Amino acid sequence: MKTTRLEAFSDGVLAIIITIMVLELKVPHVVELAALKPMLPHFLSYVLSFIYLGIYWNNHHHLFQAAKQVSGGILWANLHLLFWLSLFPFATDWMGENRLASTPTAVYGFVLLMAAIAYYILERVIIAREGRGSLLPLAFVNSWIAGGLYAFVAFLWLIPDPRIERQLEKH
Amino acid sequence: MKTTRLEAFSDGVLAIIITIMVLELKVPHVVELAALKPMLPHFLSYVLSFIYLGIYWNNHHHLFQAAKQVSGGILWANLHLLFWLSLFPFATDWMGENRLASTPTAVYGFVLLMAAIAYYILERVIIAREGRGSLLPLAFVNSWIAGGLYAFVAFLWLIPDPRIERQLEKH
Amino acid sequence: MKTTRLEAFSDGVLAIIITIMVLELKVPHVVELAALKPMLPHFLSYVLSFIYLGIYWNNHHHLFQAAKQVSGGILWANLHLLFWLSLFPFATDWMGENRLASTPTAVYGFVLLMAAIAYYILERVIIAREGRGSLLPLAFVNSWIAGGLYAFVAFLWLIPDPRIERQLEKH
Amino acid sequence: MKTTRLEAFSDGVLAIIITIMVLELKVPHVVELAALKPMLPHFLSYVLSFIYLGIYWNNHHHLFQAAKQVSGGILWANLHLLFWLSLFPFATDWMGENRLASTPTAVYGFVLLMAAIAYYILERVIIAREGRGSLLPLAFVNSWIAGGLYAFVAFLWLIPDPRIERQLEKH
């Protein structure tokens, strides 16, 4: 199998995942601008997932420039990656709707982690087939993912903890 | 007609089907991890359908490497296959929401069966046009489908029967 | 502009339209097989729209084999066609949910008609640009559309009139 | 990176955005033709967004005919554009559901504006890389966007102000 059809299929899945997340942004029933304020955590979750998926799409493309042919192993490692990425809309939605409460945020982090592991497996499978020459894009990819994780942590600290806020609202 | 556009269209439809199933995973309104537990059968249904559609996409690709040209018959046999595959999200959702109750599971099995038959018809139509030389990928495909069906049966037995569970909960 | 990107975009839109219609098939909350019976008109509407969109995709492909280049006029005539096709899920859903009641069915017919007109305009724009040589696929296309309309009328008569049924249920 | 994969991915995202907007057109529960009347503002919003996205798709294609290669900057400028375009369904839906009330319409205008800015940034990044020769399609693009904005303003005036209507209904 040539890599082109696998890339086209992955592009399709990624394009859909990145777009259907916006369906979860429920339209408020009021027409005031203030109605958008409680949506802010959800919106920021959407932005974050959009960036993550953009990074994955970017890296995915670079990775498959290293691959010449698609074996059964590469195909399933790729589907495994797409599976974890397909859970992004669900995890984003749960985290966003609950204003970044700790459990949904941990689940989101878990999906992120599993996607990173799936990506790593895909890399290894391609390297095992293509040889050491394909090691080149690896460092590039890892630094991107690392950068993304740093941005994620930073993002968590920028938003005031909703549990603290709720405590404050009680008093 | 060249096979490329038919493959691109099928890829598009398959990519959408595989991804919209995740829209049916309704986000729980609680933030506890326990909220994910009742979603487990639905989640497992999603995983199963994801694997099935992955197998179909894989086989579909192999099949069209054997085809050189697309006749009207091949085009409609392909749309017939896509039709049954498009019912996967509905069947997955119904089975998943009802914790694998017998009727929805049977309907799911029926959709699986019809997709397998549609795939078989597509194979036959291509073989009728391309001649015996295209018989090569056939065995490969069948063993995959058989393997998938075995996995499905195994999966059914791994999950405790929800009706038994419900009986137990009553006492 | 080459026709390939326009075809790829149209394929994408058609693949999405044909697939999201299935999202409107709401999963019943009961697990009995009888729960699927009231869904029958909706399911048949889905089948009908699936076939129609398949016919359009097929014809669209044949049409663009005749076109060599994409002008601004062809591009907008194509988007005009995609617009009317994009209303299929809405019209299918309204007709299906109301068991083929007369007004929704008439609206569905109107969308069909507008799509056929949009297709005719697209044909004319391509012919005006490409010359008489591109007239070849025209007859083929029209006979398909005519056939589809006949099937639609036949389909309407196969289903007992829901208003008659409702009258009968009263007595 | 070649531009083809970036174009294919952008096509996918645009095709999905343009199509999922129709999912927001909620099917009325009555079967009278009058049920479609309150949907008119929503429907017109859909038509407007459809035209806008068509313009963007058209321009996007022309823009990437000028680009030979995709740098990291072009890739992220493109994702930035897709991000704002992905908010079209949300903004369209909010504006449409509230019969073009002033706040949602302003938010819609804001999303339009940000998309136009993102498009401008993308143009600049491509020009910075490709040199002055790629300035050619610029004027063409701008005049289209300007034309679209004029149409939007005209559209706003064609529809009677819903706030005025509501006042009239009170008396």
**Residue A130 contacts residue A68 (beta carbons within 8 Å):** yes
The tens digit of pLDDT for each residue in A45-59 reads: 888 889 888 888 888
Contact yes or no for B76/C144 (Cβ under 8 A): no
Count helices and strands in chain C by DSSP H and E runs = 7, 0
Residues in chain B closer than 8 A to A102 (CB atoms): 31
Say how far apart CA B73 and CA B79 lie, in whole Å.
10
ipTM over 0.90: no
CA dist., res. C152 & res. C115, Å (int): 15
β-bridge mates for residue D2, sequence order = D69
Query: Which amino acid, one-letter code, is at D160?
Result: P
Cβ within 8 Å of residue C11, ≥6 positions away: B5, B8, B9, B12, C57
Q: Which residue has the higher pLDDT, D32 or A166?
A: D32
Does the structure show a pLDDT above 90 at B82? yes
pLDDT at B46 over 60: yes
- Average pLDDT, integer, range C142-155: 54
Identify any residues that bridge with A21 across adjacent strands, giving them in sequence order: none
User: Which amino acid type is present at position A25?
Assistant: L
Q: pLDDT tens, A23-46? A: 878 878 777 788 788 888 888 888
A11: burial class by Cβ within 10 Å (0-12, 13-18, 19+)? buried
Q: Are C101 and C162 in contact (CB under 8 A)?
A: yes
Residue of C nearest to B21 (CA): C23
pLDDT of residue C9: 87
> Is residue B145's pLDDT more than 90?
no
Please tell me the distance from the alpha carbon of residue D93 to that of residue C54, in angstroms, as a whole number: 29
**C contacts of D2 (beta carbons < 8 Å):** none
Written as one letter, the residue type at C52 is Y
What's the gap in Å between the CA of A12 and the closest CA on chain D? 6
- Return mean pLDDT, chain B: 76
The confidence score (pLDDT) of residue C157 equals 46
Q: Quick one: residue C161, left, alpha or beta (phi over 0 = left, psi -120 to 50 = alpha)?
A: beta
**DSSP, res C26:** P
How distant, in Å, are the alpha carbons of D9, D39, D42 from that of D168?
49, 20, 21
- Distance from the D168 Cα atom to the nearest Cα atom in chain C, whole angstroms: 30
Question: Where are any strands of DSSP class E within chain A?
Answer: none
Interface C-D: count of C-beta contacts within 8 A: 64
| Pick from A16-30, B150-164, C89-103, C112-126: least confident | B150-164
Structure tokens at D88: 């079209």
Structure token pair of residue B138: 């056939």
A144: pLDDT strictly greater than 60: no
Contacts of A11 in chain D (CB under 8 A): 5, 8-9, 12
Looking only at Cα atoms, what is the longest distance across chain D?
64
- CB within 8 Å: C13 and D12: no
Q: A107-117, pLDDT tens digit by residue?
A: 888 888 888 88
Sequence length of chain D is 171
Beta carbons within 8 Å of A52's beta carbon, 6+ residues apart? A88, A112, A148
**C13, C76, C104: residue with CB nearest D18:** C13
With beta carbons less than 8 A apart as the criterion, state whether B21 and B89 touch. yes
Q: Tell me the pLDDT of chain D averaged across its residues.
A: 76
Its sign, for the CA torsion B57, B60, B65, B68, is negative
Question: Which of B1, B79, B86 has its CB closest to that of C19?
Answer: B86
List of residues 6+ apart from D143 with CB closer than 8 A: none
| Residue of chain A nearest B7, judged by CA positions | A5
Per-residue three-class SS string for C49-81: HHHHHHHHHHHHHHHHHHCCECCHHHHHHHHHH
Q: Average pLDDT over chain A, rounded to whole?
A: 76
Give the gap in angstroms from C-alpha C33 to the nearest C-alpha of chain B.
Answer: 6
d(CA B131, CA D125): 53
Within its chain, how far is the Cα of C46 from the centroid? 10
- The label of the residue with tokens 């008659």 reads C164
Q: Residue D84's pLDDT band (boundaries 50, 70, 90)?
A: very high
Model confidence at D136, pLDDT cuts 50, 70, 90, reads very low
Query: Residue D167 — pLDDT band, cuts 50, 70, 90?
Result: low
**Is it the case that residue B155 has pLDDT exceeding 60?**
no
Confidence check: pLDDT of C149 > 60: no
Two tokens at C148? 């589809």
How far apart CA C121 and CA B10 sit, in angstroms, is 27
> DSSP secondary structure string, B17-32?
HHHHGGGGSPPPSS-S
In this complex, do A31 and D101 lie within 8 Å of one another by their Cβ atoms?
Answer: yes
When comparing pLDDT for A83 and C39, which is higher? A83
pLDDT for position D100: 66
Amino acid, res. A49: S
Taking any CB pair shorter than 8 Å as contact, residues of chain D touching chain A are 1, 5, 8-9, 12-13, 15-17, 20, 23-24, 72, 75-76, 79, 82-83, 86-87, 89-90, 93-94, 97-98, 101-104, 106-107
pTM > 0.95: no
Tell me the residues of C at the B interface, defined by beta carbons under 8 Å apart: 7-8, 11-12, 14-16, 18-20, 22-23, 25, 27-29, 31-33, 36, 47, 50, 54, 57-58, 61-62, 65
Number of residues written out for chain C = 171
Do D83 and A47 count as a contact with CB atoms less than 8 A apart?
Answer: yes
Q: Which of A129-138, B17-26, B153-162, D90-99 has the lowest mean pLDDT?
A: B153-162
